[in-house]
Amino acid sequence: MNLFKIIWLVLLLVVISFFHCSKKPYEIKAVDGIRYIKNNYVSSPRAIDISLKFPLGADEKTWLYIPVSVSCDSDTNIYILETGSLRIKKFSKSGELICDFGRKGDGPGELRSSQSIKIDKNGNIYVFDNVKQSFEIYDSSGKWLSTKRTYKNISDFYITKNNTLIMKSGVKDTLMCEYELNGDMINKFCIPSFIAKAFSASVKSILFTGDNNNNVYVCYRYFNRIEKYSSARNLEWVSETILGFKQNTEPGMKEVAIQGAKISKPRINQVFKSISVDVKSRVWLLAFRREEKAEEMAFTIMPISDPGSIEHPTAVGNKNTEKPNPPLYELQVFNDSGILISIIPITDYYLDNIYIFGNLLFTIDSNKTMMVYVYKIIETGNQ
């Protein structure tokens, strides 16, 4: 290599370094009192880390059948909802099975189809039944307390620290609603005006959670957008993250074949899969690092809503439990101002949901290994 080429390479590296250093980790602009954050890179990618404590579902004592949702009480007992058996299993904080309750049926405390479990400030356990369109409520021992009918179809819900219900809205042009536990509406919020009309309603699918200060956080499955709503349900900020792939933003639907069955999916790539918030109001997102391949997909077929049906949910799709190659997911962590502060690669398995309680992170693989992994959140001090 001659001297000219060496000098040219050195100059090129200097220019690249200059532009990288001159670009800020994030950019913020304010419009009509709302802050818009564009994250460019993370200065300390592993400011937060996780360490596996134990898995649940790995042996006969903790075996799980299509686990879909996790909650914890004030004593850090763990409650796991199995949509396959329509039962709730209660574990100690060390992972020992304490009891299980609930069963398939139409009677008091029985379930037909359920996807989400939450615990209110009094320690009561709420499980929503999609077929009966009601909440079944139990105490911490699993004793059935009451049934609250809603006449709404709810795939997920969140109970705030004020004991109000946050759920997806059936109101036109509004994605979120807030209710009193007695069913009275308090608020409606989250208007997706940024989504072009060419996109179908299916791409307006959202994920949501809340923090201890009664704020609500929303992200869109198919758009690079995270939103924070105040306790008054006003939009405070909108954050844009770093995508690990080039997103196809073409409107319309496409057919994907999974084990001979064809399902319809949006052409636009999915960005996020789950959301949770820790005790420091940091927002955790399960984000895609690349597009999911058809042969990697797995999902749950829910039972028919015929009252006489005895069909149980079934998991279909790829049951291969080997780790995705290349890695499919990462955990992205944002501070309460919408700034990306940490990225944690997930390389060992497939995931469907994440939940955070105290200093514990729970990850769920509903359809492949049918396991729940319990992690401890570690502060590295590099923030």
The DSSP annotation for 68-129 comes to: EEEEE-TT--EEEEETTTTEEEEE-TTS-EEEEE--BSSSTT-BSSEEEEEE-TTS-EEEEE
Least confident of 76-85, 147-156, 174-183: 147-156
Task: Kindly list the distances between the CA atom of residue 174 and the CA atoms of 159, 168, 208, 270, 316, in Å, as whole numbers in the listed order.
Answer: 19, 9, 14, 21, 33
Contacts of 331 (CB under 8 A, 6+ apart): 50, 284, 285, 286, 287, 342, 343, 344, 346, 354
pLDDT for residue 224: 95
Average pLDDT over residues 347-351: 80
Average pLDDT over residues 303-323: 50
Residue 174 domain-assigned (yes or no): yes
Residue 12 domain-assigned (yes or no): no
Residue 194: phi and psi, rounded to 5, are: -75, -15
pLDDT for residue 13: 59
The parent domain of residue 223 ranges over 27-379
Q: Which residues lie across from 101 on neighbouring strands?
A: 88
- Report how many domains make up the chain: 1
Residue 70 domain-assigned (yes or no): yes
Say how many C-beta atoms besides its own lie within 10 A of residue 116's C-beta. 21
Contact 274, 207 (CB under 8 A): yes
DSSP string of 92-109, one letter each residue: -TTS-EEEEE--BSSSTT
Contacts of 52 (CB under 8 A, 6+ apart): 373, 374, 375
Average pLDDT over residues 139-166: 88
With tokens 């609500």, the residue in question is 216
**86 or 382, which is more confident:** 86
- Please list, residue by residue across 266-278, b when 16 or more beta carbons sit within 10 angstroms of its beta carbon and e when fewer do: bebbbbbbbbbbb
pLDDT tops 50 at residue 306: no
Average pLDDT over residues 320-335: 82
* CATH number, domain containing residue 68: 2.120.10.30
pLDDT tops 70 at residue 10: no
CA distance 312 to 222: 30
pLDDT for residue 349: 77
Residue 246 domain-assigned (yes or no): yes
6 is written with which tokens?
């060496």
Q: What is the dihedral of CA 277, 283, 284, 288, to 10 degrees?
A: 140
**195 or 310, which is more confident:** 195
CA distance 315 to 321: 13
Q: Which residues lie across from 240 on neighbouring strands?
A: 38
Residue 301 domain-assigned (yes or no): yes
| pLDDT per position as a tens digit, 102-134 | 999 989 999 999 999 999 999 999 999 988 888
Residue 19 domain-assigned (yes or no): no
Least confident of 17-26, 46-55, 86-95, 334-343: 17-26
Residue 180 domain-assigned (yes or no): yes
| pLDDT per position as a tens digit, 13-67 | 555 555 455 578 999 999 999 999 999 988 777 789 999 999 999 888 889 999 9
pLDDT tops 50 at residue 304: no
Residue 14: phi and psi, rounded to 5, are: -65, -40
Residue 274 domain-assigned (yes or no): yes
**132 or 324, which is more confident:** 132
pLDDT tops 70 at residue 7: no
Report which residue type is found at 48: I
pLDDT tops 60 at residue 291: yes
Among 21-25, 194-198, 280-284, name the most confident range: 280-284
Contacts of 263 (CB under 8 A, 6+ apart): 255, 256, 299
pLDDT tops 50 at residue 153: yes
| pLDDT per position as a tens digit, 203-220 | 889 999 999 999 999 999
| pLDDT per position as a tens digit, 219-248 | 999 999 999 999 999 999 999 999 988 888
For residue 178, what is the DSSP state?
A: E
pLDDT tops 50 at residue 309: no
Q: What is the dihedral of CA 63, 285, 296, 252, to 10 degrees?
A: 130
Give the H/E segment covering residue 5: helix 3-22
Task: Single out the residue of 199, 192, 119 nearest to residue 161, CA to CA.
Answer: 119
